[in-house]
Amino acid sequence: AQSVTQLGSHVSVSEGALVLLRCNYSSSVPPYLFWYVQYPNQGLQLLLKYTTGATLVKGINGFEAEFKKSETSFHLTKPSAHMSDAAEYFCAVIPSGGNKLVFGAGTILRVKS
Amino acid sequence: DVKVTQSSRYLVKRTGEKVFLECVQDMDHENMFWYRQDPGLGLRLIYFSYDVKMKEKGDIPEGYSVSREKKERFSLILESASTNQTSMYLCASRVAGASTNEQFFGPGTRLTVL
């Protein structure tokens, strides 16, 4: 079965520093790829997704992610962290031929002032 | 502004009680989903519904059932609540068509079973 691995359950960065949240998937056939964000006491919100085409995907709030087939990865980055980016981030996939999201365990991002 | 609402933010129930969690969406979406969220496990799909009166088991359906009598409402039922069902429950909806269409999530219901 398809699985999604997020390296690091907690990541801490200083305000203004680079944000890098890692995501790897297990399938040899590339799935559709998503990043969702959950702010405290809220539901999940879509940040960005990759389906086909350009492998560098830009999302909301300055985030972007790059699909790398050779590394089976879809890491999320932001050049400069803001305090408002503190949240939990989930990588998710829809396996090839499937129609349901499979989520990773989540990474809690802390931004230090 | 799209909206998915859940009937309660916090709920405390006793073991053995029948529990209803309600979800309503105002976007006329055909697809609706129930997930549970646990630390370190992410979100896991309990049930989903493609349309009214249609339902399909997700990855962890044991101990749960669902009802979809109207397009806008999707209910999750715990027939006899147990302590291992203490969790955060999230509802989502999605327009039919491509599986890659965005899912819109409600704010969640934190259920505690004592």
pLDDT band at A30 (very low <50, low <70, confident <90, very high): confident
Q: Which amino acid belongs to residue B86?
A: T
Task: Record the tokens describing residue A39, joined without a space.
Answer: 């702010």
Q: What are phi and psi of A3, to 5 degrees?
A: -135, 160
Chain A residues with CB under 8 Å of a chain B CB are 4, 9, 32, 41-46, 49, 51, 90, 92, 94, 98-101, 103-106
Cβ(A100)–Cβ(B99) below 8 Å? yes
pLDDT at B35: 98
Chain B: give the shortest CA distance to residue A27, in Å: 17
Q: CB B45 to CB A100 under 8 A? A: yes
- Distance in Å, alpha carbon of B100 to nearest chain A alpha carbon: 7
Q: Please, is A24 exposed, middle or buried when counting C-beta atoms within 10 Å of its C-beta (0-12, 13-18, 19+)?
A: middle
> How close B76 comes to chain A (CA, Å)?
17
Quote the percentage of chain A above a pLDDT of 90.
80
Q: Do A46 and B107 touch (CB under 8 A)?
A: no
Q: CA A70 to CA A68: how far, in whole Å?
A: 6
Number of other CB atoms surrounding residue B18 within 10 Å: 10
Residue A84, min C-alpha distance to chain B (Å): 18
Quick one: closest CA in A to B56, which residue?
A100
Give yes or no for residue A27 having a pLDDT over 90.
no
pLDDT (tens digit per residue) in B58-104: 999 999 999 999 999 999 999 999 999 999 999 999 998 888 888 99
B4 and A CB contact within 8 Å: yes
Q: What is the pLDDT of residues A46-67, one digit of tens each?
A: 999 999 888 999 999 999 999 9
- DSSP classification of residue B114: -
**Token pair recorded at residue A49:** 């997704």
**Distance linking the first and last C-alpha atoms of chain B:** 37
DSSP secondary structure of B32-72: EEEEEEETTTEEEEEEEESSTT--EE-S--TTEEEEEEETT
Nearest CA in chain A to B33: A100
